Structure formats: C-alpha cells, structure tokens
Chain A
Amino acid sequence: MIRLEHVYVLMGLLLIGVSYVNARDASNPRRWNNTIFWGLYAVTFLVGSRLPHFASGCVVIGMVLVASIGKLGQGTREASTPAQREESAARLGNRLFIPALTIPAVTLLGTFTLKYAKLGGVALVDPAQITLISLGLATVVALIVGMVMLRPPLAAPVQEGRRLFDAVGWAAVLPQMLAALGALFAVAGVGKVVADLAGRWLPLGSPFAAVVTYTVGMALFTMIMGNAFAAFPVMTAGIALPLIMTRFGGDVVVMAAVGMLSGFCGTLMTPMAANFNIVPVALLELPDEYAVIRVQVPTGLLLLAANTIIMYLFVYRH
C-alpha cells in the first residue's frame, strides 16, 4: 500500500539533491548554509517518523539557527538565458503547458479513482491520505512527461528544483513551523485565556454587539493563530453559543457558517498564515515581505464588514 510515508521519502531524496547541488555551487557565497539547511530538512522527511521527538526538535532548531543567524544565499548561475528560453518557447509552443496541467489533472484523477484501486484485496493507496498522495504522484507523472518531452540532462530537474527551493528559501518551512506553534498554543491553553478576556472586557449587551464581537473576534484571533480552524472552537464556545444562540436566540447554522468565513477574512491579513501570504512573496520573488497581505487587506476588511451585516440580517430572523 502506498502511504504518505513513501511520498515523504521521495521528498527527502529531492531535498538531498537540492542540498548536494548547493554544496557544489561556488557562485553562492553562503552555499554551506544552504547545504546544511536543506540537508537537515531532508532528514526530517527521510527518518522523521522514526526519530525521537526530542531529536526532531533539535534538528528543527538547527535549521532555524542556520536560516536566521547564518542566513541562506542564492547561486547566481542560471542554466538558461532569456534568449534560449524565448527560442525554446517558440519552438515548443503550447505543448509546454502539457506537463504543467498534468499536475492538477492527475491530482484530480487520483483523488477520484485511487480510492477504488485494490491490489490483492488491499487498498493500493492509504484511503485516509488520497489527496496528498495523489498530489505527490501527480508531480512524478508530470516530471516524467516533462522529461520525455523536453529531453533535458538527467540532473536538470534537481538543478532547476534547487533554483526554486533557494528562491523560496526558509519560507518553505514556515507553514510547518506555524503548525507546530499552533500545537504548542493548544497545549498551553492560549485559546481559553483569549476567550475569557474577550468575554470579560468586550461590550456584549446587545444582539448587534454580540455579532460584531464574534465576527471581528474571529478575524482577529485568526490573525493571531494564522488559522481560522484554531480560532473557531474558541470564539464560538466563548461568545457565539452562549450569547448569539442562547441569550439572543440566533440561528446556529447562519452563525457558524458566517463566523468561520469571518475568520477567513482574518487569514487574508496576517503573516501567520504563511503558506497563503508569505510563501507566494518568496515564490514570486517580491522584495516586500508583506506585499500580498497589503493587496488583500482592503478585500479582507470589506468582506468582514459584509459578513457582519449578513450575520446580523439573517441570524436573528426565523
């Protein structure tokens, strides 16, 4: 059976390649930092499931120190010039889109069909992880299609992958780190303390005030946690259920659905939601770390106002 663990091993091998290419690239003044950083990251994928948690924690802290105190660099050698790329684009035309579109197509196909695939009565793919495994398989299929079509040197995928990994840099690890922070917040009971504070200090005396407190509270707490899923249980148990539903008789479906979406408005406006807001900055090589957030703030605020109005108009009428 194909499990997520197999995809992790593949990812680990890719990172070993990235680390190795970095070690040999003298055009990067900080090449050894990059080598160590991606090498340590590879370790978490290759043997992470078997390492004691304390050892994993030390590896992660090692990565953080290399990236923050040592700093990562980028090689300056490019395998292709703009003129070569123009020539190649003209020659290959729209066929170039085929491998790129293979990724979503195969992911989708896998998500729908792999759950039925069986080999000797056993599921071929771990049914709990179909989507993620499909994504992993799709990248492999797309890579094969690309290699057959373009016939580049064999090392090209790792070299080009390395170029992009280094462009993203430590931001590639940030979403995972934030997930770890969320887990520690949960252990420490941060959510309860925040909900208590909100209940004690905020004006909640009228049905309208309760709605505003809930929607704005969802957005703010999501901004702190980086994730509406972490904010929802805390804010709903602390404010929405006792006040909007029980005291003022609001409709629980409208309340919960729009409450969650108010949290999503917060997700648009926080660096803590790194995979949505910081990673694309790195991927698109933007100089301002908060460039994507800046663009999203007007939409986030307007939509939060819209959610508040929607909830107030519909939650109390039935």
Chain B
Amino acid sequence: MLTLVGILVVVVGFALRLNALLVVTVAGLVTGLASGLGPVEVVSAFGKAFIESRYVAIVWMVLPVIGLLERAGLKERARTVIAGIPAATTGRVLMIYFAIRQVTAALGLTTLGGHAQMVRPLVAPMAEGAAENRFGPIADKTRNRIRAHSAAVDNVAVFFGEDIFIAIGSILLIKGFLEQNGIHVEPTHLALWAVPTAVCAWVIHNTRLVLLDRSLKRELAGTRAPAPESTTEDAA
C-alpha cells in the first residue's frame, strides 16, 4: 500500500493546484523512497528517466519558426483568410480541422498537426477570426473558450483516428502484450475494431461543435444587437 503514496501526492497536489512540476517531482521521489530505493538511487532513476524521454521535447524546435512567422503577421493573415469566407463559423472551422486531423491520423500521418505547429499559429486564429467576422470584437472569456475548443479538437481527432492505422504505437503495444500472454492477434483486426469508436468520437464531438456555434451565436449576437454602444461584457 505504501507504494501508492505517490499517487496520493499527485491527486492532492493537482487538486490544490500546486505547481505541477513540483508535485510530479515530489511524487516520483516519494514513490522511489517508498519502494525501498536509497536517496541517491532515486535521484539517479529520476535523472535517467528524464534523459531517456528527451525525445518528447523535440516538438519545441518548431517555436523559432512559428515565432518568426507570428512576428510577420501569420495569425493576422489566418484571420483575414477566414474573413473572406462568409460561410465560416467557429464550429465549422473546427469541424473541418477535426475531419482532416482524424483522417490523416487514420492513415498514420499523426505528425500533420499538433498544438505548437498547427493550433496556435493557424487553427485557433481561424476559429477566433470566424467568430469576430460574424459578431465583431469578442470578449477575452469567449476568445479563451474558442482557443480551448481548438486545442481539444486536435486531441480528440488524433486519439480516435490513429488507432485505425495498423502500425501505430498503441496497436503494436496491444499486439506485443497479447503475444507475451500467448495470444496471437492480427493488427488489422485490432485496427478494424477501432472504427466504431472513431465514428462515435466524430459524431459526439461534431455535435458539440454545432452546439458551440449555437451557444456563441446566442451569447454574442445577443450582446451586440440591443446595445451597440455598451462597453460592458457582462452577458459573456
């Protein structure tokens, strides 16, 4: 039972909204100590694991390019492009990105997206631009809500698209694990059984995007029409 003390640290730490980096480090050190490692061994194990997972940080190498393009007006341009399409709404922009992201992930092209490469420079400005285009300037609260939805679309679409591709990590993990237990399965069959969930994910999340459009319309059209000179954002 003492081994679970790390989980307790994590749950309490996140619930109290303490600095996540500190919470995770303390949880790791405590777990190591609880399992009987000495202090030096625990720090070594932590250092080793950190060094071995440096590959997750390679995505940050896109930041200089993205920063450079932002300085040259990339976000502004993304908004202008959307302003030229009268039918564009926040929900529709996100539905199109959802479809592209899910289909490309199903083909194994999971690198064709991501929060740093696509969402911050392109998808979020387009989704915000579509709302501004329809309703005029939007309050920060609404802007943040649209941004959070933009990030969520990237996650949901890739999670429930990638498993249709037979060579993705999770399918290989399932196959490897079952083989260790003496069960042979075909990756194509596993991938096939990812399809029903993928369809459900598409239906559920796209429905929510339709509802997002409606809610934005209610919220923003309502504030602008009756009192155009009003400076308060209380209805938002």
Contact = CB atoms under 8 A, between A and B. Distances in A.
Interface of A: 4, 7-8, 10-11, 14, 44-45, 48-49, 51-61, 63-64, 67-69, 79-80, 82, 84-90, 92-94, 96-97, 99-100, 103-104, 107-108, 111, 129, 131-132, 134-136, 139-140, 142-143, 146-147, 150, 152, 156-165, 168, 170-185, 187-190, 193-194, 224, 228-229, 232-233, 236-237, 241, 252-254, 256-258, 260-261, 264, 267-268, 271-272, 274-281, 283-284, 286-289, 291-292, 294-296, 298-299, 302-303, 306-307, 310, 314
B49 A179 contact: yes
Contact of B148 (A140, A274, A284): A284
Contacts of B53: 175-176, 179-180
Contacts of B137: none
Given A180-B50, A260-B174, A267-B159, A283 B115 contact: yes
Q: Give the 5 A-B CB pairs with smallest separation, nearest first.
A: A160-B67, A57-B47, A89-B73, A56-B47, A161-B64
B174 A257 contact: yes
Given A4-B55, A57-B43, A260-B170, A188 B72 contact: no
A100 B45 contact: no
Interface residues on B, range: 35 or more
A139 B177 CA distance: 35
B89 interface: no
Contact of A163 (B22, B27, B67): B67
Contact of B196 (A60, A277, A278, A310): A310
Contacts of A174: 20-21, 24
A258 B197 contact: yes
B152 A256 contact: no
B233 interface: no
A194 B115 CA distance: 33
Contacts of B121: 100
23 contacts: A48-B54, A53-B48, A85-B76, A89-B74, A97-B74, A103-B62, A111-B111, A136-B58, A139-B64, A179-B49, A179-B50, A181-B49, A183-B48, A184-B28, A190-B4, A194-B4, A253-B193, A256-B174, A257-B190, A260-B163, A264-B159, A280-B120, A286-B144
B163 A261 contact: yes
A291 B204 contact: no
B231 interface: no
Interface string B157-188: 00110010000011001100110010101100
